[in-house]
Chain A
Amino acid sequence: MRYLPKSPAEREEMLAAVGAKSIEELFSSIPEAYRLKTPLNLPGPFSEAEIIRYFEARGGENSVGYSSFLGAGVYSHLRSVVTDAILQRGEFLTSYTPYQAEISQGTLQAIFEFQTLMCQLTGQEVANASMYDGSTATTEAVLMAERLTGRRHVLVARSLHPEYREVLRTYAKNSGLSVEEIGFSSNGTVDVRGLEAALRDDVCAVVVQSPNFFGAIENLAPVAEAAHRAGALLVVAVAEALSLGLVKPPVEADIVAMEGQSFGLAPSYGGPFVGVIASREKFVRQMPGRLAGQTVDADGQRGFVLTLATREQHIRREKATSNICTNQALCALAATVHLTLLGKEGIREMAEQNLAKAQFALGELEKIPGVRRSFAAPFFNEFAVELPRSVKMVNAELLKSKIVGPFVLGSAYPELSKHALVCVTETTSRAEIEKFAGAVRAALQVPL
């Protein structure tokens, strides 16, 4: 086996040194009856070439060659080959959590830079080293708000990503948290009146997403004001982090829960991505997850360590702020490299292209009779449109033109049964948008 560095003779030599007659003897503490007598029924062993062939074949059965107008929490963006070149350096790829700071300064400094980038982006004061993804970051932000306020009721905008809401519900069910949903107004943003009416003195957090699931950018000031008046914290989820290149950061938020997939991470059928929690400095001791901090060594040189670990499970056990241990460190490194490459101008330019292409796509779609924009609120690279026919039917037609159609909003919002969530990024060409609009027009004319 090519991964195992021992010859048969070396195995014998080592066994003899241990004083065992056979390898079986080393497993004698497992009761005989439970030791497998026959080899496992597993495919393989396969050579490297065969493994590559297997996965190439599987890739070929997927959507290669299609253009896509799906977003809804997972976005296709340009990624530089530089990011992957750095990620594949063994020193980053094959190192563990940086507990031994003296020989982990590379990872630690990169985390410190990641935390800085996340703070600059979100307008918050502190950010952690990563969470699993945007959905669990949102849930952990709510749990953090619960610890900070001692209250147990959560108000969640229905325009928060449906899967984020599902994850929150799973965690809340057994933590004694009650979750109440707040509807959206006719322009697609959270219903502030409804929110105000629902705010009581037991509400720990108000959770909104911006841009929200419909792509609408929330006006956070009145939402924050209402939440704070009732003594609740405002949690703002960001699922399309690139929007922050052009959209005002959620400085009104007490906690920001973000999905960083847009920064250098491939869609990869849903993961691995990178969640982020950013917040105010005064709340740092209730934050979940790892934090890297700057300090000095015995000679006074700058260096970095994992810090404030007394919040974490390996020290505090059942009193920890979260059970998270393994996080998404390499994905956070990808985001760090990607954002460093983009820089101040690059992120703005990329964001501007998204806005321009989404505006262009909306314009093309609005030329089609019966197609209209669902919501009037400003949007970034994603918007909802109402079609005169079922979105599912239209999408089925689009597939024939090798187009993966937009997200079917009716699948998560029954009242939006004819609405589609269209996403366009800098990777979508004008020709693709025009072909898409043409195919939608044609699909709407197919006789029923």
Chain B
Amino acid sequence: MNKKIKKAARHVNQNEGLIFEKSSPGKRAFEIPPLDVPAVDASKRLGAAYRKEGVQGFPEVSEIEVIRHFTRLSTWNYAIDLGMYPLGSCTMKYNPRVNEHVARLPGIATEHPYQPQELSQGCLKILALLEKCLLEITGMDAITLQPAAGAQGELTGLLLIRAYLQKQGNPRKKVLIPDSAHGTNPATAVIAGYEVENIRSDANGQVDLAHLREQVSEDVAALMLTNPSTLGIFEQQIPEIAKILHAKGALLYMDGANMNALAGVTRPGDMGVDVMHLNLHKTFSTPHGGGGPGAGPVAMKKMLEPFRPVPILVEKEDGRLALDSQRKETIGKVRAFGGNFGVLVRALAYILAYGPGVRQATEDAVLNANYIRKHLEGTYDLPYTRPSMHEVVFSDAIQKQHGVNTMDIAKRLIDYGFHPYTTAFPLIVPGALMIEPTESESKDECDFFIDAMKAVAEEAEKNPEVVKAAPHTTRIRRLDEVTAARKPILRWKPGETKQSDELGTHHRKVTTPAVPTC
């Protein structure tokens, strides 16, 4: 490894089998207070439905074994708490611990969604304040906090559009999606009952307006636009795009995945956006937790308001808050109960910590991305040269000459103490390296990252094999994904013998396909 690297060092971590392999009958990790009512004969009460044999295969272990098992597993993960996690479009920023604390408070975590509303005023006030803050940040008129994640927010947004157009007589057939969009956009459009039509990006990475004009017709319900785009570039023509759509009665949907570039600086609602979702697990710092939970509130203009999912939060004449399910034009519910309330609590705690200072976070995020871009430009190919916002997208074109691709560089970055950037996305950049540092990185951490990226580039040129075989320092090496998919093993089965975690003798060549990872 390059000696200039100050970030990473060798680390020993322990082997750990599956929890099922530690099981031995009679061990307990949890005891329940004694039963204070008469015991009943379950076989009699449940009759034929009685599960006589119990749950087979459930582990029997002690508390210390549970703690050690999951603690050991945890040490095999990289995390924001360990260092920079520059996954483009994922906004891996610091997850403040006070947010975790408040989400677990009695009176917050303990509340039942069906309890009387007069006993839920605290919950409803939290929701009302979060709604107000998110409307201020987005510049929109109305909002729903119900969607469970970004993709469900997209669906909610499209269903609002559909209901609105339907009311005017025709829900229309198509949704336009730029070729740089996240995969969720086209997948969502299909569930909302629309055909997907791709629109091209121009040489600058912006929506090709001429092409857009040709495509927008009375069949088009909406355009789903990510802004800044997945190239990290602000879509400058957004007011013009909105005009083109509106002239034909179509609406502009904005995917707010990249809102971390805009909060406090500009507002989508002011630029002609009709409806958008926010990823609270990105811009608003709620923890990703290894893949979720998230929350995907949808903010909209006035004309979409009547169609919001129920229940709707309303303020009564006496100032009390209430949930109202009586809405004739609602699209219905997209999820049971009100939404991922615990996530909403964390997002509000984040906003309260910043207040109007949320702009400073945005500025620092954009500064970090540009700082990294400045230092890596030339070392890595920059296919689109317009100003970067919160993320920068390079390509592996230079390293490809030595047979090294974006996935290899990503894997080698692991040896240097970083989580990789997003690989092979957006699809319009062959061999993309999509880097989003967020505001949570210090100048030092950015410098370490730049050193590491430069060191990998140098290796790609002089010693490409070391990059192609990376990572070299992790507990396990590249995994055989092809066999995993061809002969899926998706669970442990009772009776399976204990597998040895020792090094095998059989060496195999493993190649990692470059697939989009965000």
- In the complex, what residue of chain B is closest to A45 when comparing beta carbons? B355
Distance A380 CA – B76 CA, assembled complex (angstroms): 40
Interface-forming stretch among A110-118, A201-209, A223-231, A435-443? Answer: A110-118
B370 touches which of A26, A109, A297, A325 (Cβ 8 Å): A26
With a 10 A CB-CB cut-off, give which of A44, A54, A130 has the most chain B CB atoms: A44
> From residue 63 to 118 of chain B, which have CB atoms closer than 8 A to chain A?
63, 66-67, 69-71, 73-82, 85, 87, 90, 92, 94-96, 98, 100-116
Query: B292 and A313: CB pair below 8 A?
Result: no
Query: A58 and B515: CB pair below 8 A?
Result: no
Interface-forming stretch among B298-306, B329-337, B398-406, B455-463? Answer: B329-337
Known contacts A217-B49, A300-B506; is A62 also within 8 Å of B485 by CB?
no
Query: B516 and A326: CB pair below 8 A?
Result: no
Q: What mask results when residues 119 to 143 of chain A are scored 1 for a CB within 8 Å of chain B, else 0?
A: 1110001110110111110000000
Distance A137 CA – B258 CA, assembled complex (angstroms): 28
Query: B336 and A270: CB pair below 8 A?
Result: yes
A236: Cβ under 8 A from any B Cβ: no
Distance A27 CA – B370 CA, assembled complex (angstroms): 11
A431 to chain B, nearest CB (A): 8
Q: What mask results when residues 117 to 144 of chain B are scored 1 for a CB within 8 Å of chain A, else 0?
A: 0011111011001000100110000000
With a 10 A CB-CB cut-off, give which of A27, A100, A173, A296 has the most chain B CB atoms: A100
B183 touches which of A98, A102, A316 (Cβ 8 Å): A316
Known contacts A30-B265, A333-B290, A359-B45; is A308 also within 8 Å of B488 by CB?
yes
Query: A167 and B82: CB pair below 8 A?
Result: no
Distance A309 CA – B485 CA, assembled complex (angstroms): 8
> From residue 414 to 448 of chain B, which have CB atoms closer than 8 A to chain A?
414, 419-420, 425, 439-443, 445-446
B126: which A residues are within 8 A, CB to CB? 55, 58
B90: which A residues are within 8 A, CB to CB? 96
- Chosen A-B contacts, 8 in total, with CB atoms closer than 8 Å, are A3-B96, A51-B352, A59-B107, A100-B414, A107-B291, A109-B73, A295-B479, A299-B504
A333: which B residues are within 8 A, CB to CB? 289-290
A267 touches which of B112, B508, B518 (Cβ 8 Å): B112
Distance A104 CA – B75 CA, assembled complex (angstroms): 9
B45: which A residues are within 8 A, CB to CB? 355, 359, 378
With a 10 A CB-CB cut-off, give which of A96, A100, A111 has the most chain B CB atoms: A96
Which 10 A/B pairs are nearest by Cβ-Cβ distance?
A300-B504, A59-B107, A44-B355, A330-B289, A270-B337, A90-B81, A329-B291, A174-B193, A61-B122, A170-B332
A20 to chain B, nearest CB (A): 7
Query: B100 and A93: CB pair below 8 A?
Result: yes
- In the complex, what residue of chain B is closest to A322 when comparing beta carbons? B187
A303 to chain B, nearest CB (A): 4
Q: How large is the interface on A (under 10, 10 to 19, 20 to 34, 35 or more residues)?
A: 35 or more
B155 to chain A, nearest CB (A): 6
Query: B290 and A97: CB pair below 8 A?
Result: yes
Query: A296 and B293: CB pair below 8 A?
Result: no
Query: B46 and A51: CB pair below 8 A?
Result: no
> From residue 301 to 342 of chain B, which have CB atoms closer than 8 A to chain A?
309, 331-342
B63 touches which of A34, A271, A341 (Cβ 8 Å): A341
Distance A258 CA – B136 CA, assembled complex (angstroms): 37
A223 to chain B, nearest CB (A): 13
Q: What mask results when residues 356 to 371 of chain A are scored 1 for a CB within 8 Å of chain B, else 0?
A: 1101100000000000
B247: Cβ under 8 A from any A Cβ: no
Distance A178 CA – B363 CA, assembled complex (angstroms): 49
Q: What mask results when residues 229 to 268 of chain A are scored 1 for a CB within 8 Å of chain B, else 0?
A: 0000000000000001111110000000000000000111
B327 to chain A, nearest CB (A): 12
A294: which B residues are within 8 A, CB to CB? 484, 489-490
Can you name 8 extra interface pairs (CB under 8 A) apart from A96-B90, A120-B57? A29-B234, A55-B349, A61-B121, A82-B63, A130-B292, A169-B332, A270-B337, A433-B37
A93: which B residues are within 8 A, CB to CB? 79, 81, 95, 100, 287, 289
B190: Cβ under 8 A from any A Cβ: yes
Query: B503 and A300: CB pair below 8 A?
Result: yes
- The total of chain B residues at the interface (CB under 8 A) is 214
A91: which B residues are within 8 A, CB to CB? 74-79, 81-82
A247 touches which of B46, B121, B341 (Cβ 8 Å): B46
Distance A307 CA – B486 CA, assembled complex (angstroms): 9
A96: which B residues are within 8 A, CB to CB? 85, 87, 90, 92, 288, 290-291, 419
A343: Cβ under 8 A from any B Cβ: yes
Query: A58 and B123: CB pair below 8 A?
Result: yes
A302 touches which of B389, B478, B499, B509 (Cβ 8 Å): B499
Distance A30 CA – B103 CA, assembled complex (angstroms): 36
Distance A305 CA – B458 CA, assembled complex (angstroms): 30
- In the complex, what residue of chain B is closest to A259 when comparing beta carbons? B336
Query: A355 and B374: CB pair below 8 A?
Result: no
With a 10 A CB-CB cut-off, give which of B155, B193, B387 has the most chain A CB atoms: B387
A199: Cβ under 8 A from any B Cβ: no
Known contacts A126-B491, A170-B332, A314-B183; is A297 also within 8 Å of B476 by CB?
yes
- In the complex, what residue of chain B is closest to A220 when comparing beta carbons? B49
A186: Cβ under 8 A from any B Cβ: no
- In the complex, what residue of chain A is closest to B156 when comparing beta carbons? A170
B375 to chain A, nearest CB (A): 8
Query: A357 and B106: CB pair below 8 A?
Result: no
